[in-house]
Structures are given as structure tokens and as C-alpha cells.
A and B are shown apart, each in its own frame.
Chain A
């Protein structure tokens, strides 16, 4: 089935190229014959034909590929007798078998020595389907029921017929619309504008994909979270101070220790990154010469390019033991190399470029006339920065801060390796704690179906985190927007 899809895609692309050439030629020929000037450049006419060939055909193909499996699935599953469904527990399991057998039959036919007619005559109750399929690498859990086998056969047949109709429909669409637009070409046709409309819809479509994806993610988070709150009380989730998941059931799933860990680690990180980042930004924007700046800025931004797992290694191997041996143990505050301090400091280093780079841009955006005004009154450079530039840039810097904060809240790798994985409510920064993101990972690793509160809690955690960072981003956006109005 995949081969026929890629074949049809290649054919349509070839038709598109052909349409371009023919359209262009026709535009030139028509204008030559009628002795009139073309409205647009000849290439635009070719482009118009090409667009009429490609766009509707690909749209149709896309929709078909999406709809056909759903349609077939619903038809086949209604044909499966209830007794078989009862036997295997769920309809979805039966359907999974049907799909695998159908897939196996495809392979069987493809491997040769077995024709479509043989297949049509094959019956599950007479021949051993399971061993046959095993020979082409498709393993089945149990012997195949005749009804399931028949369902698989018709699944295949409907699928094949559907694919054939689809290919014909796509080709006809491409050819018909291509030909229609080709015949329509006249010198006065506004081919340029067609191309403009296409570009516009292309750009619009791209942004739509991003928006729809976001909505989809929110939707799935919400859906699973609601599911979770049906089987686990929301009160306990939000207000319990114990996090103790048991896969046997009867777990305590309080978000408070995780939220506390998240905020604590983020706080330590920001307490390091914000002052350092800001001072770097001020130095780069106001004091550094252009040659130093052109070297230092990318060098600092390189920190942002280091994968967080590398920071995690740094936390685990260098910073953690150092803090334990030189600070925590001598002062008797802790004995673990995983601590909030470790993760926070390393994360802070990771965040420095976020703060410094954004703030640097924002400080640079403060008009030179503000500086001139201040210098003209006899202010020194640092007075000017403190009293004029920072207040003017403050909203933008707050935006940078919030962006870094959402990044800190969402960070996982550094926390796992730096702060450990034990959920704990404590004010001692030298103790191991953990964050929401780490727990999402640990709740979802392992082989469990998504039905118990222990796994579904991951979605509720994710949703909480999402609401948190979304809130921060909205505040950041609001502040940045307000800032933009300031000088215009």
C-alpha cells in the first residue's frame, strides 16, 4: 500500500512539472498569436497550471489517506461477531489481530509462491494460518479464528479496492483541473494574483498547523487528566503533601512535594542566572567594544547550545560531589551529592544565555537618544544605565526573565542527574528533591496500560505544568507587548 502511495505522489509531481512547462508554453503561444502583452510573466501561467494540478490532488490524497482506514475499520469491526469480542476481551484487540493478519497476508503474497486466488480459497479452519504467517515473520499469539481470518481477508480486499479508487480519483483530479486551467490561459488572465493567493494560503496553512497541534496537545492532556480525576480525587492531588505511588494501587499522589521541588530548583537557578545574565547583558550592550561584543555574545550563546544531558553529567560528576564534600558535609546540612543546590546552580548556568542574550537585545533597543539625553545632563554611564536604561528596558527584561523561568520549570534532565528523584518537602537546599517533570518520566516508564491512576497522573502533572508555563508566557507576552508601545 505504501508503494502505491509513493508512486502516485511521484506521478502527480511529474504531472505538476509537465503542467508548468505546458502552461508557460501556452501563455507564450497565445500572446504571440493574439499580439497582446501578457498580464504576468510567463512563468506565472506555468505556475498556475502546476498549482491546479498539484494542490487539489494532494489535498484529496491526504484526506483519503486519513479517512479510508477509519471507514474500513468501522465497517470491519461491525462485521466481527460479538462472541469473538467477548473471548479476547476488547474489540480493539481483535482489530489489532485483524490488521496484523492482513499485513501478514500482504507479505505472504509478496514473498511469491502464493497467489491471490490461492488466498481467496484459503480457509482458516482447514489450513494452518499461524505457521504460514510465521514463515514471513508475522507472529501471532494464538491460532486464528475463522471469523477473524475472514475479516482480515475482507479488510485487505476493501483496502485494495479503496486504494485503487483513490489512485484513480487523484489522477483524474490532477489531470482534469490541470487541463481546465491550461485551457483557461489567456493573455489577460491574472496569473500573478493566483500565485499570490496560493502563497498566502500556504503561509496561513503553516501557522494553522502549529495552532492545531497546540490545540491537539492541550486536548489530549485535558482528556487524560479528566480521566485521571474521575478515578483519583482532585483534592488529594492538589493538596496532599505525600507523593508515594504504588503500582499495586492505593498510592498517594500529592503534587505539592513535586511542585515545591520544581519551584525551589527554579528559584535557585534564576537566583544565579538573573543577576549574572543581566550584568553580562549590561556589559555587552553598554561597555564592551564592538569587536569584543562580536566575539563574546556568540561565545555565551554557545552555553544555550549544550544539550541538557551534558549539563546533567556536569551536575552529577563535578558539581554534586563538590557541593557535598566542601559545603554540605562540613556544615552538616546533608550528605547526598544530589541536591536542589546542585541542580539549581547547573540549571542557572544553562539559563545565563537566555537572560543575557535577550536582555542585551532589549537594552540595545533602548534608543540612543535616551542615553544622549542623560549624558547631556551630566550623568555618568552607570547612572544612565541604572536610572534611564534599566527602567526603560525593564518590561522587556521581565519578559526575558519569565521566558527563562518557564524554561527552568520545564527542565528535566539536569534535575534527574543533579537533584535526584525522591519527592520531598524540605527547605534544606542540600537535600535531594525532585520536580514535576522528573516524576512524569518515571510514572510513564515501564509497561503499564493507561488505565491506572499511577500512569494517568502523568497527564495531570503535565497539565498543571502546562498551565504554569502558559501563565508565565502569557504574562511575558503581555509585558513585552506593553513595552513595545513605549517609544512609538
Chain B
């Protein structure tokens, strides 16, 4: 693991350096707290998400990392009893401001879920769904083009181009997840949130999705929740460690994995708890 990690760090070195010097803050969490009814699930989380970087959220189950992720595009709004305190900004705009249109926010901050959830429609319709509801294209040709670009962007074009009219649910698990990524990038979001995107996939499909995440970094800001230390090390530039609803520490991925400042982080990444 050590050797492998070192290699990965070498690969990520360049990006990390840029992040340290000239990275722009895309999203900013300021004392974010989340309550489910009277139970508090997240305590005063201050976390910055840098533009065109992959930020990994790690921590044991129930530590609040998915909860934080879902705050970033207000998916928690769909849960009746959920209440968010503190402030989250996207390009310095408060996303919980009543004046903000949550529908528009979610178009700017897309999401890929833990279990692949393609709609029971054709592959084409799955990708065309977002552009259609947001009116992003004028003509059928534009839409065709956008669908192709999105599928290419998700690395699914070669596999799917001959079966665009077949149901998306007929694809394999890994293909379905890439279809969901294609669906998300079709609406041209600025940020993509990924909630354990590989937890339902086999190692080969996982490798493909991870490769894709690395490519997507060029154009998108990505936040990924993962249970796999290796995955966090492989794909992310920054890592945030959560425990019991608190942010334990956040730093460059390399620092977190080689020289964490908190003992809890060290224990978790070496497998001593969690």
C-alpha cells in the first residue's frame, strides 16, 4: 500500500502544487450544522472546496460526510425533518438564501449517487433529460450532439453508441454509474458531488470510474464521499476527515495520508478504527 500510495502521490504532485498556490475557492462551508429533528448530525463544519480539484470526504459510517455532501446542493431539502444551520456559499453566494432558486442551484451542483439510478428510459433519454428540462438546446441536432459529448465525457460513448435507444437499466452496474455521470455533466454543472459512486461496483468498473473522475477534474470541481482509503488517495487532491459529525482535519491528500496532524485521522487511515 505504501509503494502504491507513493506512486499516486507522485502523479498528483503537480495538481496539489497548483492547489496550494493559486487555487480558487469554489464552495465554502462556514459553521455548517445539520439537525435531523432534534438530533444533530453535523457540528460547525468549516470546509473549503477548491475549483477544479477533487476533494475527498472520508470517515467511518455515520460520521456526517454524506450529510455534508447533500448540503452542498440542498438535497437535504427533500427530507422533511432536516434543518441546516450555518452558511454555505457557491462563488460567494449563500446557497441557503431564500432568494436562491434551488432548482438552478442543483443544475450548477450536480450529483451522482451511491447506487446507480438511471431512469427507466433509454440511454439517450437518460442523458437528454437534464438538457431538456433546462432548455439547454435549441434543436434535435444540438441535443444529439450534447448527448454524444456527455457520453464521451463519461467514457461511455464507445460502449453505448449502438444502443442509445435501449433502456439504461439494461447496462451493467459500472456502465449505469457512468451513465449517471454522463447525465450529470449533460447539464454542464460547475460542481459534481459523488456519494460513494463506486461502492456498488466491481474493481474493474471502479477503476474506470476513478479514471473518469481524474479526467473530469480538468473541467469540474468534484467532491467525493468514499469509504476506500485507496480511492481517496488515488483520485483526490484534498481530503477531509470526518468523525462523529465533526470535521477532524482537512489538508492535501498527501499530507493526510503520510503525515496527518490528528491521531484520529492516523488511526482511521491505518485501519485501527472505523
Contact = CB atoms under 8 A, between A and B. Distances in A.
A372 B121 contact: no
Interface in A349-397: 367, 369-380, 383, 387-388, 391-392
Given A377-B129, A383-B133, A391-B121, A372 B78 contact: yes
Interface in A51-108: none
Contacts of A487: 120, 169
A369 B119 CA distance: 9
Interface in A270-301: 289-290
A374 B104 contact: no
A445 interface: no
A364 to B, nearest CB: 15
A377 B115 CA distance: 16
B78 A377 contact: no
Q: Which of A290, A373, A380 counts the most B-chain CB atoms under 10 A from its CB?
A: A373
A376 B75 contact: yes
Given A377-B129, A378-B130, A378-B187, A367 B117 contact: yes
B75 A378 contact: no
Contacts of B119: 370, 373-374, 388, 391-392
A111 interface: no
A370 B119 CA distance: 6
Contacts of A370: 117, 119-120
A374 B118 CA distance: 10
Contact of B184 (A376, A380, A486): A376
Interface stretch (B31-39, B49-57, B106-114): B106-114
Contact of B106 (A371, A377, A388): A377
Contacts of B103: 378-380
B178 interface: no
Interface residues of A, number: 22
A86 to B, nearest CB: 73
B113 A369 contact: yes
Interface in B92-131: 103-108, 110-113, 115, 117-121, 129-130
**Interface residues of B, dominant DSSP:** helix
Interface in B137-193: 169, 180, 183-184, 187
A391 B169 CA distance: 14
By DSSP majority rule, is chain A's interface helix, strand, loop, or mixed? helix
Nearest to B187: A377
A479 to B, nearest CB: 14
B50 to A, nearest CB: 22
Nearest to B114: A369
Given A369-B113, A369-B115, A383-B133, A375 B75 contact: yes
A191 B121 CA distance: 53
A487 B118 CA distance: 10
Contacts of A371: 78
B133 A372 contact: no
B4 interface: no
Contacts of A372: 75, 78, 111, 113, 117
Contacts of B80: 289-290
A4 B121 CA distance: 68
A377 B107 contact: yes
A370 B117 CA distance: 6
B169 A486 contact: yes
A377 B117 contact: no
Q: Which interface residue of A379, A380, A391, A392 has the most chain B CB atoms within 10 A?
A: A379
B273 to A, nearest CB: 30
Q: Would you list the 5 A-B pairs with minimal beta carbon distance, nearest first?
A: A378-B107, A376-B111, A369-B117, A378-B106, A377-B130
Given A370-B117, A373-B113, 9 more contacts: A372-B78, A373-B118, A375-B78, A376-B106, A377-B133, A377-B184, A377-B187, A387-B129, A487-B169
13 contacts: A289-B80, A369-B115, A372-B78, A372-B111, A372-B117, A374-B119, A377-B187, A378-B104, A378-B130, A379-B103, A383-B133, A387-B133, A486-B120
Interface of A: 289-290, 367, 369-380, 383, 387-388, 391-392, 486-487
